[in-house]
Amino acid sequence: MNPKQIALDEIQSLVDAETAAWNNLDADALVALFHPDMVWVWPPDAQSHDPETWVMPMGRFDAGRWKDVWNRLFTDYILAHNRRKTVRIEVTEQLDGGFAVVVVDTLWINKQDQSEFHWSGRACKIYTKVDGRWLIINHTGLLQYP
């Protein structure tokens, strides 16, 4: 197999590992995927394509804090479904960076009031290769596209 295809497959494996971590409600597996310099920007809603309106509710990557946020989500909500489809993966010519475009349809149901918390749209997950290992270094929030 050629080196580019290996890199593409490795990134797809990370997308799959993230999906499995959500499916298994595994905050430890989630934080293992992130580069320590990760900063996650998020649009306030799926139609906010203008980054001037985006926010950073998670702050700079902090494994303990991020695990706490996700564990509260797992405690307060039931995962009704988590459908994800990779629509594109690209890697740099040097095979040291890449991104995956993933369509996300994840539905959480609040355990107390049965309200829905729906993640729906496309994300761009950006990866960097550090010491032979791919890590997520950036991730745009979910946006709807026509």
> What is d(CA 53, CA 57) in angstroms, rounded to the nearest whole number?
13
Tens-binned pLDDT, residue by residue, of the chain (146 aa)? 899 999 999 999 999 999 999 999 999 999 999 999 998 889 999 999 999 999 998 889 999 999 999 999 999 999 999 999 999 999 999 999 999 999 999 999 999 999 999 999 999 999 999 999 999 999 988 999 87
Q: What is the pLDDT at residue 114?
A: 98
Residue 141's pLDDT is: 87
How would CATH label the architecture of 3-139?
A: Roll (3.10)
- The pLDDT of residue 146 is 75
pLDDT at 57: 87
> What pLDDT shows up at residue 59?
86
For 42, how many CA atoms within 13 A lie in the half-sphere containing its CB?
11
pLDDT for res 7: 97
The helix or strand, by DSSP H or E, that contains position 31, with its residue range, turns out to be: helix 27-31
User: 């293992």: which residue's tokens?
Assistant: 32
Residue type, 23: N
Counting every residue, how long is the chain?
146
For residue 30, give both structure tokens: 């989630």
Q: Which two tokens stand for residue 135?
A: 């890590």
Domain boundaries, the chain: 3-139
pTM for the model: 0.94
User: According to DSSP H, which parts of 43-123 are helical?
Assistant: 63-76
Structure tokens at 11: 């990134």
